[in-house]
Amino acid sequence: FGYVRVAEISPELVPANIGYNTEAILLALREASREGCQVALFPELSITGYTCADLFYQSLLLSHAVESLIRIADETSRVPISVVVGLPLAIEGRIYNCAAFASGGHVLGIVPKTYLPTTNEYYEERWFTSARENKVTDVEVGGVRVAFGTDLLFRASNVAGCILGIEICEDLWAPNQP
């Protein structure tokens, strides 16, 4: 009937513990695939955890997040599932709150968040740059250039005809969505 089985997965995460979080994501991907899911969606900043605060400025955290993304993408070559996973990404001296899409063993693109909340307990503008400030259309991830921007569509290699776009949190609710 053209349906796609999608899993929204919120594994237990530990802020700034990328090794732990990556293993939790990989375990959840394998389980979702065994259950017949074709696309798995993980929370915003799921690789690092959302609450890293000023640790987002640490180059070690940022580089390990990219290494984790590569491991997660590689898993999609062994497990027939496509994945959306969140991570911070440093580009040209700015840090973006991003969602990456991986399928068939490759990172196919990365979408930066546009609308950064700054009310109540949210301080995203302290650490992240809005996608409106972005000047690049692709970035290097593991020696490969991948698309970067808010206007991307992705084809899930494991599901015929499945094409999807990504919006992150406030971007979905904004009056003028990216």
Per-residue pLDDT, averaged over 71-81, amounts to 97
Which of 37, 98, 162, 169 is catalytic? The answer is 169
The radius of gyration of the chain's CA atoms, rounded to the nearest angstrom, is 15
> Is the pLDDT assigned to residue 1 strictly greater than 80?
no
- Locate tokens 């992150």: which residue? 168
Per 3-state DSSP, the chain is made up of helix, strand and coil in percentages (nearest 5) of 30, 25, 45
In this predicted model, what pLDDT tens digit does every residue of 99-133 receive, in sequence order?
999 999 999 999 999 999 988 888 899 999 999 99
Which of 44, 67, 167, 170 is catalytic? The answer is 44
In this prediction, residue 87 has a pLDDT band, given cuts at 50, 70 and 90, of very high
- Locate tokens 């959840």: which residue? 28
Compute the Cα dihedral for 28, 5, 157, 140 and give only its sign.
Answer: negative
Nearest CA among 128, 133, 126, 162 for reference residue 150: 133
Three-state secondary structure call for residue 77: coil
* The amino acid at 59: S
pLDDT score for 122 = 87
User: Does 135 participate in catalysis according to the annotation?
Assistant: no
pLDDT score for 120 = 84
Global pTM value:
0.96
Which residues partner with 8 through β-bridges?
41
Report the Cα–Cα distance between both ends of the chain, in Å, rounded: 30
Which of 37, 52, 113, 124 is catalytic? The answer is 113
User: Does 169 participate in catalysis according to the annotation?
Assistant: yes
pLDDT score for 175 = 87
pLDDT score for 2 = 81
In this prediction, residue 76 has a pLDDT band, given cuts at 50, 70 and 90, of very high
Q: Which of 95-99, 114-118, 160-164 tops mean pLDDT?
A: 95-99
In this predicted model, what pLDDT tens digit does every residue of 24-64 receive, in sequence order?
999 999 999 999 999 999 999 999 999 999 999 999 999 99
